[in-house]
Structure 1
Amino acid sequence: MADEKNAPATEAPELGTAEVSNMADTAGPVQRPRGWMYKGFRVAGKEIWYASPIVQLLMVAMVCFLCPGMFNALTGLGGGGQVDPSAQNDAATALNSTFAVVAFFSGTIANKLGVKATLAFGGLGYCIYAGSFLSYNHNQNHGFVVFAGAFLGVCAGLLWTAQGTIMMSYPPEAQKGRYISYFWIIFNLGAVIGALVPLGQNVNATGATNVTDGTYIGLIVLMFTGAVLAMSLCNADKVRREDGSKVILMKNPSWKTEFIGLFETITSSPWVILLFPMFFASNIFYTYQLNDFNGAHFNTRTRALNNLLYWTSQIFGAIVFGYGLDFPGARRSIRAKGSFIALVAVTFAIWGGGYAWQIKQVPREIVENKDSGYEQERVDWTDGGERYIGPMFLFIFYGFFDAAFQTCIYWYMGALSNSGRKAANLAGFYKGIQSAGAAVYWRLDGLKTPYNTMFGATWGLLAAALFIAAPVIFTRIKDTVTLEEDLKFSDETAEDVAPAKDVAVHDKHDSV
C-alpha cells in the first residue's frame, strides 16, 4: 500500500458513460484522498471519477440550477412577473396539487425507472411553465398558465424526488450536511443569476409593470438546457463512493416491490409521521414572502432587486447550516439536537421581526384596488431608510431562513437511513406533503385572504411543525445507521454494497 501511495499516477484514458457504468461493478482497498475535490479513483487501472457521488451531486445541482433555480427567479418576482398575481396564484395551486399527488408515488417511479430518466423528464415542465407567461404577456390566456402549472407539478414531483435520492443516499454519513450545502449553493446560484435577468431588464421600471418578453425567453432557454443535461447522469446502481461501496438499492425492482417498499417506509418506522407537519410547512412561506411581501409592496425594479438578495442569502444559510450539521467535534445525535434548537431560535427571531413589520402595512383591499392610488405608493429602492432598508434586510433573512429550514429537513431524513431505496420514498413523501401545503396556501392567497392572516397562519404552522417533530429529532437520530439496518429495506447483501478491495484512490488536489 505504501508503494502504491508513492507511485506516480498514470493518466487514465478518457471514458464514456457506458465504460464508467461497466467498470463500476469491479471491486477494490482504498486510499482516502485528502480533499473532497479529488481527481477520482481507479478500478482495474482505469479512472471512474464520473461515477463518484460528488460528481453526480454537482451535476444534479446544475440541473436544478437551470430548471427550478430559474423557476425560483421567476416566482420571486411575485405574480410570475405580472402585476396581477391571479394567473400565477391559480397556476401555483394547480402545480402544487398535481405535485402532491405525483410526488407521493415518485419514489416508487424513481426506484423503478432510475434517477436519470426521472430527472430528465422532470426538467421538461419548467420551460413550458415559463413559456405560458410569455404567452400571457400577449394574449392573457389564463387557462394555458394554469395547465402549464399543473403539468409542471407532475414534472417537478419526479425531478425533486430524484434529486432528494441523490443528495441523501449518495454521500457518506459524515459528509451529508456538506453535500446538502453544495447542492443548495449551486441550486440557488441559479436563482441568483436568473434574478439578474429581470433586474437588468427592468432597472428603469419605476412603476408597477409586467416583466419583458426577453426575461421569459432567457429563462425558457436555460430551463430547457437543464432538462437535456439531466440525461448525462449515471443511475444510482453505477455510483461508487470513495471506499468503493455502492448505494443500497433493490437488485431487481418491480412495480410490486416498489409499492410494497412505499408502504414499508411508513409501517417500519411509524414515528416518521411526526415529521409530516414539518414537510407540510416547508414551502408554505413562499406564498406570503414572494406575493404578499415582495409582490404587494414594492415596484417592479425593487421586486427584482429583493428577489436577487433573497436567493443570495439562501447560499449563506446553506453554508452555515450545512457545515454546522457536519461539525466533526460533536456526535451526530448531538448535532441533530443542536441544529434543531438553532432552527427554532431562527424561526422565532426572523418571523418575530416580520410580525413587527407586517402589522404596520396597508391591507390587501387597498393594495389590490386600482383606484386607491397605491400603485404610486409602492416602495422603491431609492426611498432608503426605514421605508426600504428595513424590509430589505427582513427579506434577506427570510431567504436565509428558507435555506436553513430545508437544509435541516434533508439532513434529518438522510440521518435516518443510507438506503437509496428508502431515501427515494422519503423524498417522495417530503415533496408530496410539501406541495400539498403549498397548494393550500397559494389557494388561500388566490381567495384574497388578508395579508395579516396569511402571515399568522404561516408563522403559526411553522412553529407547531417544529415542536411536533422534536421527538424524532431528539430520540430517533443515531450517531450512525448500521449496514444491517439499511439492508432490511433491500434485497441486496452486505457483499453487494460493501467497500471494495482493489480500488485505488488518488489525489490531484490536496485541499479545497
Structure 2
Amino acid sequence: MINLAELKIGRLRYNSPWTQVCLVGFVAFSSVGMHSAVNGLGGGGLGDVRLSDIANSVLYACFFVSGFFSGSVNNILGPRFTMALGTSGYALYLGALWNYHIHGTRWFVIFAGAFLGVTASLFWSAQGSIMMSYPLEKDKGRSFTAFWVIFQLGALIGSVIALRIEFHSTLPSISTGVYTTFMIIMLTALLTSWLVLPPHLVVRGDGTVVQPQKSLSPKQEMHEFLQLFKDWRMVALFPMFFASNYFYSYQGALTAFLFNGRTRALVSLLTGLGSMIGSLMIGYLTDVLPFTRRNRALTGCFIIFISTCIIWGSGIGFQVQFTRSDTKVLHHSIPWDWTTGVSVGPILLLFAYYIVDASFQGLAYYTMSSMSNEPFKLARMAGYYKGIQSAGAAVSFRMDAVKTPFIGEILISSLLIILSLPLAAYVIWSIRDTNYDIENIQYAEDAKSQDCETVQPVHLETRSAKD
C-alpha cells in the first residue's frame, strides 16, 4: 500500500500544499467544471429556461441553509469524506437534466437541485479550507489561480466536448450525447476526492504542518461558527459575498435568449477562458506586485472596481436596446447563430463578464485567507461565504424565473458588485502583513516527535514562518 503522504517524485511532494490544491482543482474539474459547462449552455442546456431557473433557485436556497453548517461538517468529517459527499450531487443533477431531456420529468430536476444545494455546500467548504489554509501566505493568491484555472479548464473542456457534439446541430437544446459524456466525467470526482490528504499530513515549504490543533466537538464547532457573526469584517463582507454569484442567472438567461444550441456551447467555452484569465489576473495582483500584502489587495480591489464599471456599463448600454418580449435584437431574429454578424459583440461581452467575475471571487477568497491561516476557521469562513453567496444566487434565479425585465436584473447585478467593493477595501485595510506572529504553528519534525511514545510531548512554539 502506497503511503501518499510520503510519496515524492523528484522535487514534487504529494503532501505539499500545491499538490493538494491542484488535486482539489481536478476534483472540481470533473464535477463543478462539467456542471458549469452545462449551465454555460444557457438554461442548463434545457429548452425550458423557467424550469432551470426554478431548479437553480431551489438549489441555492438549500445551499444557503446548508452552507452555514458545511464548514463545521468538514471540520468533523474531514476533507476527504466531505468532498466525496459534495461531488455526488453534481452527477445526480445532471442525471435529472438528462431525464427531463428524454422523459420531461420536471419534479426530478427540482429535487435534484435541492440535493445538489446541500452537497455542493460541503464540497465548497472543504475546497475553501484547503485552498486558503494549506499554502504559505505568500502563495495564497496564486493558490486561488491554480485551483480556478484547473476548475475552469473543466468547464472549458466540457464546452469543447459540447461544441464538438453540437457543431452541426441547429436544435434549440443540447443532445443526449453531451449528457452521457458529462455524466461519465462527473462520476470520476467521487474517486479522486479520496486522494486528498487531511490537513495534519500536509507540510508547507517552510516545514510547518497545516493543522496542529485537534478537532472540536459538534457543540464547540457551532459555538465557533456563531462567533463569525460577531466579527465586523465578516459583516462588512456580506454584500460582497451576496453579490458574488448574483450575476450568473442574468448571464445564463441572456445566453439562452440570444443564441442557439451550438453558439451557447461556444459562449460557454469562451466564458470558461475568461474565468481563467480573471483568476490569473487576481493571482498576479495579490501575490506578485512588489507591495505589502495590504497594498497588493487594495490595488486588486481598485482594478476590479474600474473593470466592473467599464464592462458592466457596456453591458447596460447593450441591454437597453431590447427586452424579453422581443423576437429581434439589433434587427436580427433570435436565437442567433455565431455566423450572425451582430453576435460577435455580445459574445465578447459575456467573455469580459467572466474575467471580472473570476477576479471578484478571487479577491473575496484572498481577503478571507488574509484573516487567518487556521484550516478550521477558514472552513467556517468558506461555509459562511458560500451560504451568503447562495442566498444571492437564489434571489437572482427566482427573479429571472418570474421574468423580471433584463434591464432590472443587470442593474441590480452591477450595483451589488460596485457598492460591495468599497466595503471590501475597508476590510482589506485592516489585514495584517502576516498572521504567523499571532497564530500557533508547528513544524513537521516537532509533530513527528510528538507521535512517538518514547519521547515527551513537545509544546507548540510560535516561530517565525516568514517567506
Task: Using structure 1 for the length normalisation, give the TM-score.
Answer: 0.83
Q: How does 1:287-326 map to 2 (within 5 A)?
A: 287-291=249-253, 293-326=254-287
Cα distance change of structure 1 residues 444 and 494 upon mapping to structure 2, 3 Å threshold? farther
1:319 is displaced (CA, Å) by 1.0
| Aligned twin of 2:452 | none
Cα distance change of structure 1 residues 421 and 381 upon mapping to structure 2, 3 Å threshold? same
| Aligned twin of 2:54 | 90
Counterpart amino acid of 1:259? M
Task: Using structure 2 for the length normalisation, give the TM-score.
Answer: 0.91
| Aligned twin of 2:93 | 129
Cα distance change of structure 1 residues 470 and 323 upon mapping to structure 2, 3 Å threshold? closer
| Aligned twin of 1:280 | 242
Counterpart amino acid of 1:414? S
In the alignment, which of 192, 197, 222 is matched to residue 234 of structure 1? 197
| Aligned twin of 1:261 | 224
| Aligned twin of 2:187 | 224
Q: Whose RCO is larger (CA < 8 A, sep 6+)? A: 1
Larger Rg over CA atoms: 1
In the alignment, which of 410, 414, 435 is matched to residue 481 of structure 1? 435
1:57 is displaced (CA, Å) by 0.7
Counterpart amino acid of 1:145? V
1:497 is displaced (CA, Å) by 7.7
Rounded Cα–Cα distance in structure 2 between residues aligned with 1:353 and 1:152: 34
Question: Contact between 1:89 and 1:443, CA under 8 Å: does it hold in 2?
Answer: yes
Rounded Cα–Cα distance in structure 2 between residues aligned with 1:434 and 1:494: 42
1:288 is displaced (CA, Å) by 0.7
| Aligned twin of 1:34 | none
Rounded Cα–Cα distance in structure 2 between residues aligned with 1:236 and 1:398: 35
Unaligned runs of 5+ in 1: 1-13, 24-36, 41-48, 502-512
Question: Contact between 1:61 and 1:183, CA under 8 Å: does it hold in 2?
Answer: yes
In the alignment, which of 402, 421, 429 is matched to residue 447 of structure 1? 402
1:376 is displaced (CA, Å) by 5.1
Rounded Cα–Cα distance in structure 1 between residues aligned with 2:64 and 2:20: 26
Task: State the secondary structure of the residue aligned to 2:418.
Answer: helix
1:456 is displaced (CA, Å) by 1.0
* Per-residue deviation, residues 243-288 of structure 1 (Å, max 9, x unmatched): 2211246314211221121122333x32321001100000011111
Rounded Cα–Cα distance in structure 2 between residues aligned with 1:364 and 1:286: 17
Question: Contact between 1:100 and 1:436, CA under 8 Å: does it hold in 2?
Answer: yes
Counterpart amino acid of 1:157? S
In the alignment, which of 112, 116, 119 is matched to residue 155 of structure 1? 119
Cα distance change of structure 1 residues 140 and 479 upon mapping to structure 2, 3 Å threshold? same
| Aligned twin of 1:424 | 379
Question: Contact between 1:314 and 1:403, CA under 8 Å: does it hold in 2?
Answer: yes
In the alignment, which of 310, 321, 324 is matched to residue 364 of structure 1? 324
| Aligned twin of 1:53 | 17
In the alignment, which of 30, 36, 39 is matched to residue 11 of structure 2? 39
Instruction: Out of 160-169 and 311-320, give the one that drifted further.
Output: 311-320
Cα distance change of structure 1 residues 367 and 170 upon mapping to structure 2, 3 Å threshold? farther
Counterpart amino acid of 2:201? K
In the alignment, which of 299, 305, 322 is matched to residue 338 of structure 1? 299
The count of corresponding residues between Structure 1 and Structure 2 is 450
1:85 is displaced (CA, Å) by 0.7
Question: Contact between 1:245 and 1:500, CA under 8 Å: does it hold in 2?
Answer: no
Task: State the secondary structure of the residue aligned to 1:366.
Answer: coil
Question: Contact between 1:127 and 1:224, CA under 8 Å: does it hold in 2?
Answer: yes
* Per-residue deviation, residues 333-361 of structure 1 (Å, max 9, x unmatched): 11121111111101101101101111112
Question: Contact between 2:240 and 2:417, CA under 8 Å: does it hold in 1?
Answer: yes
| Aligned twin of 2:288 | 327
Rounded Cα–Cα distance in structure 2 between residues aligned with 1:440 and 1:131: 25
